[in-house]
């Protein structure tokens, strides 16, 4: 990953919004890194997926990742179906989004919103001063437009933070490297990768292709990969296809999983 940026944070840096797809990519990344285990199931004749606990959160997780993990599997819960996540009030998105933005501020990719409070305070003070001067001059010297001009300057100062960029220069640099990584992934040729390494490379990069909308292309590139080439059957983080000699069934299943996961994280 560029500059150690994780998938969810990468999606946030690119478009400056913490979207459901960024959170879905974080869930996939947690599975790839062996914190979660994903199992397709059939419930009442419809496809569903269970997300299960593998390893507890540790100091390797960023705060927003821990928030996502704890939201999925709160204390005392070892497994949950994606369908269950759609229950009203089951997922609270504001804490996740706040944690993601705080992480981007902590890494220097986003400007600290607290630094934008000063122009608003100055603007409010100028507006108040302008109104006082306007009233005073209107009742005495008659040059009330001076106070109006000061009040307008205060209004402009209050609006200025709304037009300042969220990303810092460092964030712009990282965003450029993320886009370059996406372009690089588009050029990967599976046959040039040793078979024993293909599953690892496929899995590690998959969450980044989710945030860019390139997951289907990435899976298509690796759909003929034999996941047992590393002497372990099936993908190590996604159950259900242990006997498959390729990723054809996974390729058909995964997009529906991401869509369902995004739907669970989509505010209503």
Which of 11-25, 27-41, 52-66, 118-132 shows the lowest per-residue confidence on average (mean pLDDT)?
118-132
Distance CA 241, CA 246 (A): 9
Average pLDDT over residues 86-108: 90
Residue 258 clears pLDDT 80, i.e. is over it:
yes
Distance CA 99, CA 232 (A): 36
Do 41 and 151 lie in one domain? The reply is no
**Residue 135 has what pLDDT?**
60
DSSP bridge partners of 110:
167
Do 10 and 70 lie in one domain? The reply is yes
- Nearest partner of 44 among 15, 83, 11, 10, judged by Cα: 83
**Residue 42 has what pLDDT?**
83
Domain stop point among 163, 196, 225: 163
Distance CA 262, CA 23 (A): 8
Do 155 and 177 lie in one domain? The reply is no
- Which residue segment(s) compose the domain that 153 sits in? 114-163
- Nearest partner of 95 among 63, 52, 137, 132, judged by Cα: 63
Q: What is the percent of the chain where pLDDT is above 90? A: 62
Do 157 and 186 lie in one domain? The reply is no
DSSP annotation of 168 reads -
Do 106 and 210 lie in one domain? The reply is yes
Residue scoring higher pLDDT (130 or 255): 255
The mean pLDDT value of the chain amounts to 85
Over residues 99-144, the pLDDT tens digits come to 999 999 999 898 876 655 555 556 566 566 666 666 665 666 655 5
Do 63 and 147 lie in one domain? The reply is no
Do 100 and 47 lie in one domain? The reply is yes
Are residues 236 and 39 in contact, defined by beta-carbon separation less than 8 angstroms?
no
**Residue 67 has what pLDDT?**
96
Distance CA 217, CA 210 (A): 10
Do 182 and 145 lie in one domain? The reply is no
Are residues 10 and 48 in contact, defined by beta-carbon separation less than 8 angstroms?
no
Do 101 and 65 lie in one domain? The reply is yes
- Nearest partner of 218 among 194, 256, 250, 240, judged by Cα: 250
Domain stop point among 142, 163, 184: 163
Do 68 and 26 lie in one domain? The reply is yes
Surface-to-core class of residue 72, CB atoms within 10 Å of its CB (0-12 exposed, 13-18 middle, 19+ buried): buried
Average pLDDT over residues 58-81: 95
CA atoms within 13 A on the CB side of 110: 25
**Residue 195 has what pLDDT?**
93
Domain stop point among 138, 163, 188: 163
Do 217 and 97 lie in one domain? The reply is yes
DSSP annotation of 49 reads E
Residue scoring higher pLDDT (249 or 139): 249
Over residues 157-199, the pLDDT tens digits come to 555 444 444 788 999 999 999 999 999 999 999 999 999 999 9
- Nearest partner of 8 among 108, 111, 102, judged by Cα: 102
Distance CA 84, CA 29 (A): 21
Domains: count for the chain:
2
Do 193 and 157 lie in one domain? The reply is no
**Residue 89 has what pLDDT?**
85
């Amino acid at each position: 990953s560029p500059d150690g940026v994780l998938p969810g944070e990468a999606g946030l840096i690119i478009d400056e919004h913490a979207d459901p797809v960024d959170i879905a990519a974080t869930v996939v990344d947690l599975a790839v890194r062996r914190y979660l285990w994903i199992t397709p199931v059939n419930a009442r004749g419809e496809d569903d997926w269970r997300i299960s606990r593998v390893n507890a959160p540790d100091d390797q997780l960023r705060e927003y990742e821990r928030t996502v993990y704890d939201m999925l599997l709160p204390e005392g819960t070892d497994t949950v179906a994606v369908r269950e996540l759609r229950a009203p009030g089951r997922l609270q998105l504001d804490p996740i989004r706040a944690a993601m933005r705080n992480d981007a501020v902590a890494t220097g990719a986003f400007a600290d919103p607290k630094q934008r409070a000063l122009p608003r305070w100055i603007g409010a003070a100028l507006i108040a001063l302008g109104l006082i001067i306007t009233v005073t001059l209107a009742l005495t010297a008659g040059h009330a437009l001076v106070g109006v001009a000061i009040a307008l300057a205060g209004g402009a100062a209050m609006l200025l933070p709304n037009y300042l960029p969220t990303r810092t220069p460092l964030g712009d640099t990282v965003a450029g490297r993320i886009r370059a990584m996406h372009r690089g992934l588009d050029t990967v040729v599976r046959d040039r990768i040793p078979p024993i390494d293909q599953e690892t490379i496929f899995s590690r990069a998959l969450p980044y292709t989710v945030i860019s909308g390139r997951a289907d292309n990435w899976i298509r590139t690796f759909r003929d990969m034999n996941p047992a080439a590393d002497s372990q059957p099936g993908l190590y983080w996604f159950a259900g296809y242990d006997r498959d000699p390729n990723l054809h069934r996974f390729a058909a299943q995964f997009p529906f999983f991401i869509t369902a996961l995004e739907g669970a994280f989509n505010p209503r």
